[in-house]
Structure 1
Amino acid sequence: MTARVLLLGGTGDALAIARTLGSQHVYSLAGLGRVPADLACAVRVGGFGGPQGLARFLADEGIALVFDATHPYAAQISANAARACEAAHVLYWALRRAPWQPQPGDDWRMVGDWAGVSEAIAPFARPLFTLGREPLAHLDEVPPQQHWTIRCLDAHPGHARARVIDARGPFTPEGERALFTEARIDVVVSKNSGGAATEAKLAVARDMSLPVVMMRRPPLPGAQRELASAREAIEAIDHAIQRSFNA
């Protein structure tokens, strides 16, 4: 029997990898967002119960390789995966796409957490948040002088001083410029996710001379092998499957 892969996903890169996996492999989603309907592999939704629960799952299901293609800011998931793989003596590989780098003309204000975000956007009136769901937990904190535009994957009610847009990349420069203009955005708040799907907002912010409040990436655990793109990951996983992880 071919050794099994557990793909930890939820990103566009992960979905591209999942579409190449056969029925014996497992694609794991935390439960947020839409579950793909066009995959040959099994799809598992929900947590594992921490590193101990994941280690039990790996042993029970005969998993030989865990490939971590979660978001660069999903630090807890990655830490749990690394610990579980070590305990279960299972290979742990990860996709670690390169972060964005500031370009000439960029005005990035680096912060480390939500408190830093709040302080950095205080002088502005109409921020655009592209942090996922995190700003939704702070809707009752919108100052009277501000109006927030929040873009995330899932629909959510806003209120008089906060508009929530459910949208999924890739985003185009034309679309981003239209949004910035229509919503009168004066500062962009972003995670340094890397990749091309959501990079257009940075180019438009640069062209419009808008500052970007950028959240630093959290430290992530090391992996036995790190890949920089979905294409590299697909080739490496396919090669490993063909050799049944015996190399």
Structure 2
Amino acid sequence: MTRVLLLGGTGDALRIARQLAAHDVYSLAGLGKVPDDLCCAVRVGGFGGSEGMQRYIEQEAIGLVIDATHPYAAQISANAAQAARSARVPCWALRRPAWQPQAGDDWRMVADWDELTAALAPFARPLFTLGREPLAHLDEIPAHQFWFVRCLDSHADTARARILAARGPFTLEGERALFALQRFDVLVSKNSGGSATEAKLEVARERRLPVVMLRRPSLPAVDREFDSAASLLEALPRSH
């Protein structure tokens, strides 16, 4: 009987967690809502790097690590791959396919925060959908810009920024209404993939708005990769 350690925090991870057994563990970093309706155990908090995760794997007799974290959680993914390798257990990863630009899209790819802010220089009303990172830069907003930051965190508005605390999935109708009301002139996004937050890209396309897109980080090699929760669940041993 294989005990699974599922590293999650995404909607796909929760779909996998709902199929796990009582002896399995669903691990969350602690951001966002913690589910209380799962059959498996739920662990909240960090491990202390790859060495701490290796100790946990060995002490808890974990037989399979599944990395279903966000595509931009590169450090957690690296720690998981290293810890599993050191503990000599397999590591599987759910690698959600990236979005691809379509006809009419104006994507401006950037690698980091400095490139991102340089790409935003011509614009006045950006919508940030990067998570919490912009919150650390609210005192750096150029005089000609007013920022809208959508993330899970509640945060007070400032004189030059509005914080929109919201959790996906987001509907096409809702995104259309938001863009029309706030008159954004550029969208800032991670290439997260999946359908839960894709509607914003369609609205940007409809309104002919540019998208400043943060490139995905490089992720470590693992024993098996899957492009959907369904395909991973099909491969999971029924007797685990």
When the two structures are superposed, what TM-score results if normalisation uses the length of structure 1? 0.95
Counterpart for residue 211 of structure 1: 210
CA distance in 1 between counterparts of 2:214 and 2:227 reads 21
Gaps of 5+ in 1: none
Gaps of 5+ in 2: none
Counterpart for residue 184 of structure 2: 185
Deviates more, 1:138-147 or 1:69-78: 138-147
When the two structures are superposed, what TM-score results if normalisation uses the length of structure 2? 0.98
CA distance in 2 between counterparts of 1:166 and 1:22 reads 33
Superposed, which structure 2 residues align to 1:82-231 within 5 Å? Answer: 82-231=81-230
**Contact 1:28–1:46 under 8 Å retained in 2:** yes
Offset at residue 241 of structure 1 (A) = 4.3
Offset at residue 116 of structure 1 (A) = 1.0
One-letter amino acid of the counterpart of residue 87, structure 2: A
Offset at residue 154 of structure 1 (A) = 2.0
CA distance in 2 between counterparts of 1:118 and 1:79 reads 27
Q: Deviations over 1:135-165 (max 9, x none)?
A: 0111111112111111111211121111111
SS at match of 1:63: coil
The percentage of counterpart residues that share the same residue type is: 67
**Contact 1:155–1:166 under 8 Å retained in 2:** yes
One-letter amino acid of the counterpart of residue 22, structure 1: A
Counterpart for residue 71 of structure 1: 70
**Contact 1:6–1:26 under 8 Å retained in 2:** yes
CA distance in 2 between counterparts of 1:191 and 1:121 reads 15
Q: Give RMSD over aligned pairs.
A: 0.8
**Contact 1:3–1:241 under 8 Å retained in 2:** no
Counterpart for residue 41 of structure 1: 40
SS at match of 2:46: coil
SS at match of 1:150: strand
SS at match of 2:164: strand
- The size of the alignment, in residue pairs, is 240
Offset at residue 183 of structure 1 (A) = 1.1
CA distance in 2 between counterparts of 1:11 and 1:42 reads 17
